[in-house]
Chains A and B, each alone.
Chain A
Amino acid sequence: MVFNSLTFVVFFAIVLALHNLPFEWRVKKFNLLFASYLFYAAWNPPFIVLLWMSTVVDWLVARKIHRQEDQRRRKAWLIVSIALNLGFLGFFKYWNFALENWQAFMATFGVDYQPPEWNILLPVGISFYTFHSMSYTLDIYWRRVEPIPRLSDFALFVAFFTQLVAGPILRTSDLVPQLARPRTATRDQLGWGLALMTLGLFEKVVIADGALAPVTDMVFGAAHTVGAMDAWLGTLAFSGQIFCDFAGYSTIAIGAALCLGFHIPNNFRAPYAAIGFSDFWRQWHISLSTWLRDYLYIPLGGSHKGVGRTYVNLMITMLLGGLWHGANWTFVLWGGMHGIFLSVERWLKGVTARWGLPNGFAFKLLLALLTYVLVNLTWVLFRSESLASAQSMFSAMAGLRPGAASLLPTVKVLETALCIGGLLCAHLYMRDRQFETVVAGAPRALIVATWTLMVFAVIITQGTGDAFIYFQF
C-alpha cells in the first residue's frame, strides 16, 4: 500500500496502537513483521513468496558463511546468495529488456528473431529489498557484522514496512541493534514522527503530484514538439517532482519508524544546493550512493589502484547504478552522465588545486547553480521514455526548435516557478543547517501554522497518484 492512501492511515493507526499495548517485545516484533508482510502483500500477494525466499536463503547462507573457515567455500556460499538475489532481480526486472536488446542485436545481422512474449510484472520494491538483504550476506562475508541469531529478527530487518519498498536501504548495523531491546516512541518522538510524516506527505501529495507531475507529464509527453522554455520548465518541474516524491517517501518512512520508536538514518539532505556531483551524491539517495560505494566501488578497488582505474571504477559504479534504476538505456546513460561528471570533477579538482579559486558565497552559489543545471540535464534522460525522446528534449532545451508553439498554461508556469524557486531557496538555506535545529529555533506559532496548513493542503489536494516514482525501481 502507498503512504498517501486512506488504507495506510488505517493500517498505521492499527500498527501504532498494537505497538503501544503492553505486549512482550517478542510479540511486538512479531506484530511488526506480520504488519510488514501485510503491507507488502497489499500490492500483489503472490510476490511475498519472493521476499520470503530471499529472506530465508540469505539468513541460512549467512550462517553458513560465518561458520565456514575455508575461504573457497565461504565464497561459494556468497555466490549462492548473490546469484539468488540478482537472479530474481534480473528475471523480473531485466528479462524483457535483455530480450529486446538481443532481438535488436540479431537484427543487425539480418536475423529476424521474435522472442516469446513474457508478461512479467515487476514486484514492487524488489531492487530495494534485494540490496537490503544482499548487504547482510556481504557484511557477513567481509566479517563486518555478526550473524543475526533469530530468523524473525532478520526477516523484520528485511521487511520492516517503513522502508521496504523504496528505502532508505538499511544496513544490518542501522536496524538490527535496535531490535535487541523493547522500543516505543516517547511522546516527543511520536509528535515529531507525525510532523515528519506530514512533511513527507506534503512533499509527495501537494508538490510532487499536485503541482509538478502534470507539468512534467505534459512536457515529456510532447517532447517532440515543445520549445525551449517549455522544455526547460518541464525538466525543472521534474527535478522538483522527483525530489519531493522520493525525499517525501523517505521522510514519511523516517517519521513512521520514529513513531514506533525506531531510528532510521537520513536519505536526503539538500541536493540541489550541492556544489559538484560528488557533493550531490552525498546528499541525494544517500543510502544508495553509500551502498554502491561500499559494496561495488570499493571492492572494485576504489581509488587505490591508480588514476585510470579510479575513473573506470567510477564509471562502472555509476553505469550499474543507472541500470539499477530501470531496464532502459535511458537509465544507463543517466548513470553514465553522472559517472562522466564525477570523473571530470575529480580531474578538475586535481588540476585546479593550486589555482587558489575564490571561496566566497557568490562563487559557491554560482557552482551550486551550475551543478543544478547539469543535474537537470541528467534528469532529461531519467524521465524520458526513450533515447529518441530524450534527444528531442535536449534539442528543444538547446533552442533548436525555434518555431515550436507554447505548451504550458500560465497557471502551470506559475506553479512550477513557485515550487522550484521555493525548493532551491529551501535547499540553499538548509545546506549547512540541521533540520531539527531550524525547527527547534522557529517560533512555535510558525510551527503550528505550517504544520496545520500542510495537513490541510494534503487533505484538500486528495492526491490521485497511486504510487511513488521509486516504486518502479
Chain B
Amino acid sequence: MPSSTSSSDLQGFERSVPGIPWLPTLALVASLTMVLLVGWELAMRNLGLQPGDLDDGRAYWTEERRKLNAGPRDPLVIIGDSRILFDTNLETWKELTGRRPIQLALMGANAEPILHDLASDEHFAGLLVIGTAEFSYFSHDAGSMPDVIEYMNRESPSQRIGHYLYRAASRHLAFLDSNYTLFTLIERHPWRERENVKGPYLDVWKISEAYDGRQTYLWSRLERDAELRRHAEEVWVDIFAGEAVAAELVDEVSARSRAAIERIRARGGEVVWVRPPSAGPILATERARYPRREVWDRLVRDTGSFGVHFEDFPAMRQYEIPDSSHLSRASAVEFTEAYVRELLENVPWLQERHGDDVRNRKVTPLEAHRRAPRAP
C-alpha cells in the first residue's frame, strides 16, 4: 500500500503519521478485541473445546522423541497411527510395567519411517510397540506428517520457544486448537460442490484431545455427539475405501520391517505388534482390503515378533468404538491393560526387565482411568 514518506536532510526518511490520536484508538481496539476474544473463547468451550487440550503436532512429537536420546537405552516406545495413539493409556502402562512409554504414534502416520529412524538410532535398544492399522502401515505414503523427522532435525530455537509458549497458552485457552481456526470453520460448511470435487467438508475434523506426554484420547465430544460420530465414520469409510493391498507391497513392507527390527534386536532391543480394535463398516473394509492371513499374520511371522490382534481376544471385541475406528476413553484404558498384560505374558524382553512383583500388580481399569491425566 502506498504511504507517504518525506526526506529530511540528515535524519533519513521521516514517515508521516495519520493525524488521529493513536494511543486512545489503540486502547479502544485492545478493549474491543478482548471482548471479542472472550466471546470466542466461550463459544469454543461451548462447542466442546477445553483449555489444557494441547493440540498435538510435530513439535510435541519432537519433544518426546528427544527424550529417547536423553534417557536410558532401553525405553518403552510406541509408534503407529491414531489408533494406538488414542487407544493407549500411558498411566496404565506405567502401573503394569513400572515405566511410562514414550508415545511416538502420530495421527494418520505410517509407522514405517519412524521404525527405520529408530533402527538407525544406535542409542535405542528398548521395546518398540508398533500399533498397526494395515491401511496406514501397508502404504506407499508416509502419512499426514511425513516431515516430522526432518522437522525434529531442523527445529530452530525460535520454533522450540514458540512451542513452549503455545503450550503454556493452550493450558488456559480452549480456542487455541488448529481444528477450530477461522478458515477451518468456514470450510466445514457443507457448500454445494463442483462436479467430481471432494470438498473440505469431508476432511478429518477434530477427533482427539491431547495432554502432557502426548497422552491422547478420542475427543470426548465425539463420544456424545451422534452427528460428529456420523461424520467421522463417513470420512473413514471414504478414506479406507480402495482395492485389496498388492501382494508385492506386503512383501516389500514385511522385508523392510524385518531388516529394521533385526537391527534393533542386534542391539538388545525388541519389537512387538499391536492391532487395535475397529468395527462396523471400517472393519469390513479392512478385512476385504487386508486379509488377515496374507497381511497381519504374514507380518508377524516374517518379523519373528510377538503380536496382539484384537480379534484373538473376545474381551477386546466388546469395547466401545464410537467412530468405528478409535476406542472411547474408558475402553482405551481397558484395552491398554489387556494388551500390556498379553505382552508381559509373552515377551521375554519385557519379563526380564519387569519382574513378577510388577507384572502381578493388580490395577483395575477404572482405577487407572481415574488416575489418567485429563483436562482441568
**Which residues on A are within 8 Å of B, measured CB to CB?**
1-2, 5-8, 10, 41-45, 173-178, 180-181, 186-192, 194-195, 199, 206, 210-211, 247, 251, 254, 258, 263-266, 268-270, 405-411, 413-415, 426, 430-431, 433-437, 439-440, 444, 447-448, 451-452, 455-457, 459-462, 464, 466
Say whether B314 faces chain A, with CB atoms less than 8 Å apart.
Answer: no
| New contact pairs (10) apart from A406-B194, A409-B193, A411-B186, CB-CB < 8 Å | A7-B165, A42-B156, A191-B23, A206-B182, A406-B195, A409-B187, A411-B199, A448-B25, A456-B37, A461-B181
Q: Are B29 and A460 in contact (CB under 8 A)?
A: no
A6-B166, A188-B21, A264-B13 known; A411 vs B5 contact (CB < 8 Å): no
A42-B157, A263-B5, A406-B196 known; A451 vs B29 contact (CB < 8 Å): yes
> What are 5 sample pairs from A and B whose C-beta atoms fall under 8 A apart?
A177-B12, A210-B181, A406-B194, A447-B25, A461-B181
* Residue among A194, A426, A447, A459 making CB contact with B20, cutoff 8 Å: A447
CA distance A407 to B183 in the complex (A): 19
- Which B residues are CB-close (under 8 A) to A413? 194
Which of B21, B156, B193, B195 is the most central at the interface, judged by chain A CB atoms within 10 Å of its CB?
B156
- Which A residues are CB-close (under 8 A) to B186? 411, 415
Q: Are B12 and A42 in contact (CB under 8 A)?
A: no
- Which A residues are CB-close (under 8 A) to B20? 439-440, 444, 447
Q: Are B182 and A42 in contact (CB under 8 A)?
A: no
- Which B residues are CB-close (under 8 A) to A452? 29, 32-33, 36
Within 8 A of A (CB), among B238-293: none
Q: Are A265 and B2 in contact (CB under 8 A)?
A: no
Say whether B296 faces chain A, with CB atoms less than 8 Å apart.
Answer: no
CA distance A264 to B1 in the complex (A): 14
- Which B residues are CB-close (under 8 A) to A426? 1
Interface magnitude class on chain B: 35 or more
- Which A residues are CB-close (under 8 A) to B193? 409-410
- Which A residues are CB-close (under 8 A) to B5? 263, 265-266
- Which A residues are CB-close (under 8 A) to B46? none
- Which B residues are CB-close (under 8 A) to A436? 3-4, 15-18
A270-B1, A433-B2 known; A461 vs B183 contact (CB < 8 Å): yes
A452-B36, A456-B33 known; A189 vs B1 contact (CB < 8 Å): no
Q: Are A434 and B3 in contact (CB under 8 A)?
A: yes
Shortest Cβ distance from residue A347 to the other chain B in the assembled complex, whole angstroms: 29
Say whether B14 faces chain A, with CB atoms less than 8 Å apart.
Answer: yes
Chain B 14-42 interface mask (CB, 8 Å, partner A; 1/0):
11111111110110110011001100100
Closest A residue by C-beta to B185: A460
The 10 A-B residue pairs whose C-beta atoms are closest, nearest first, are A191-B22, A1-B158, A42-B158, A440-B18, A409-B199, A435-B3, A6-B165, A410-B191, A439-B18, A434-B4
Closest B residue by C-beta to A406: B194
Say whether B198 faces chain A, with CB atoms less than 8 Å apart.
Answer: yes
A177-B11, A466-B159 known; A188 vs B37 contact (CB < 8 Å): no
Q: Are A173 and B25 in contact (CB under 8 A)?
A: no
* Residue among A2, A7, A195, A210 making CB contact with B182, cutoff 8 Å: A210
- Which B residues are CB-close (under 8 A) to A177? 10-12
- Which B residues are CB-close (under 8 A) to A406? 194-197
Closest A residue by C-beta to B4: A434
- Which A residues are CB-close (under 8 A) to B36? 452, 456
Which of B10, B18, B19, B199 is the most central at the interface, judged by chain A CB atoms within 10 Å of its CB?
B18
CA distance A190 to B15 in the complex (A): 12
Shortest Cβ distance from residue A471 to the other chain B in the assembled complex, whole angstroms: 12
Q: Are B194 and A265 in contact (CB under 8 A)?
A: no
Closest B residue by C-beta to A6: B165
Closest A residue by C-beta to B188: A411
CA distance A430 to B1 in the complex (A): 7
Say whether B161 faces chain A, with CB atoms less than 8 Å apart.
Answer: yes
- Which A residues are CB-close (under 8 A) to B191? 409-411, 414
Shortest Cβ distance from residue B355 to the other chain A in the assembled complex, whole angstroms: 46
Closest B residue by C-beta to A450: B29
Chain B 138-168 interface mask (CB, 8 Å, partner A; 1/0):
0000000000000000001111011001100
Q: Are A269 and B200 in contact (CB under 8 A)?
A: no
A174-B12, A430-B1 known; A464 vs B200 contact (CB < 8 Å): no
Which of B15, B165, B187 is the most central at the interface, judged by chain A CB atoms within 10 Å of its CB?
B15
A210-B182, A430-B2 known; A189 vs B17 contact (CB < 8 Å): yes
